[in-house]
């Protein structure tokens, strides 16, 4: 076989192998988390920061054949932050905060910088937020999750707040499905924060008293 033909065959084999390893893992099943709330007065989800990162990566790996988030080196880690490249300020960033001795997840936040807007960056933020929601809403269809994301981003962007973001500041609107809450917070001159929080009846009452618009996402 001529040398050029040999090289061509080798390249084709490598391309085929590469496409196989990077494609969806059709036989890879992810066991969903049984999402519950602990502590009605200061709610948190019933899983740790490390467990959340692990579950996020399972869903991502099922679709893309590889992990996305850097696994936590310590199972007892009480907070987490991830950005594809720390030197690039414009990239979306995922952050997780927790509470208690069990480091149970209290909030997940994915930021988006509108000042550096591009279709590529927005799609990256959408993908990161999709898998963040997938962890806590495993029974929902992909299209339904994407619809929640779009609605939350749109309503938050179109109704900017007067104050800069703080976890204690009330957003314009909150979407909720059983014990999972989703909202975005945006103020001019700042990034938009896509947030996932645990909610209880007390949480909904508190938000309602702050004139936050509540939207139930029904099954």
Q: What angle (nearest 5°) sits at the alpha carbon of residue 138, between those of residues 133 and 141?
A: 85
Q: Which of 111, 49, 58 is nearest to 84 (CA)?
A: 111
- pLDDT band (50, 70, 90) for residue 140: very high
Assign 100 a pLDDT band (cuts: 50, 70, 90). confident
Q: Has residue 5 got a pLDDT over 50?
A: no
What's the whole-number mean pLDDT along residues 153-163?
A: 95
Whether pTM > 0.85 for this model: the answer is yes
pLDDT at position 15 is 37
Tens digits of per-residue pLDDT, 170-200? 999 999 999 999 999 998 888 999 999 999 9
CA triplet 170, 132, 178: central angle to 5 degrees? Answer: 60
Mean per-residue pLDDT, 43-52: 96
Neighbours of 75 (CB within 10 A): 11
| Token pair listed for 137 | 């809403």
Torsional class of 63: left (φ above 0), alpha (ψ -120 to 50), beta (otherwise): alpha
Q: Bridge partners of 181? A: 176, 197
Residue that wins the pLDDT comparison between 218 and 175: 175
């Amino acid at each position: 076989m001529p040398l050029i033909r040999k090289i061509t065959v080798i390249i084709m084999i490598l391309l085929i192998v590469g496409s196989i390893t990077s494609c969806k893992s059709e036989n890879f099943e992810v066991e969903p988390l049984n999402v519950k709330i602990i502590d009605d007065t200061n709610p948190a989800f019933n899983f740790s920061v490390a467990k959340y990162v692990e579950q996020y990566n399972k869903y991502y790996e099922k679709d893309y054949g590889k992990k996305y988030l850097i696994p936590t080196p310590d199972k007892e880690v009480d907070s987490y932050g991830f950005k594809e490249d720390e030197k690039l300020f414009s990239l979306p960033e995922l952050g997780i905060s927790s509470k208690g001795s069990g480091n149970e997840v209290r909030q997940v936040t994915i930021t988006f910088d509108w000042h550096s807007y591009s279709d590529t960056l927005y799609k990256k933020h959408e993908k990161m937020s999709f898998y963040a929601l997938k962890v806590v809403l495993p029974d929902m269809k992909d299209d339904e999750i994407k619809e929640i994301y779009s609605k939350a981003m749109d309503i938050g962007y179109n109704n900017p707040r007067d104050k800069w973001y703080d976890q204690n500041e009330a957003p314009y609107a909150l979407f909720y499905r059983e014990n999972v809450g989703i909202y975005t917070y945006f103020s001019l001159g700042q990034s938009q924060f896509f947030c996932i929080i645990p909610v209880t009846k007390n949480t909904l009452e508190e938000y309602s008293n702050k004139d936050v618009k509540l939207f139930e996402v029904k099954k």
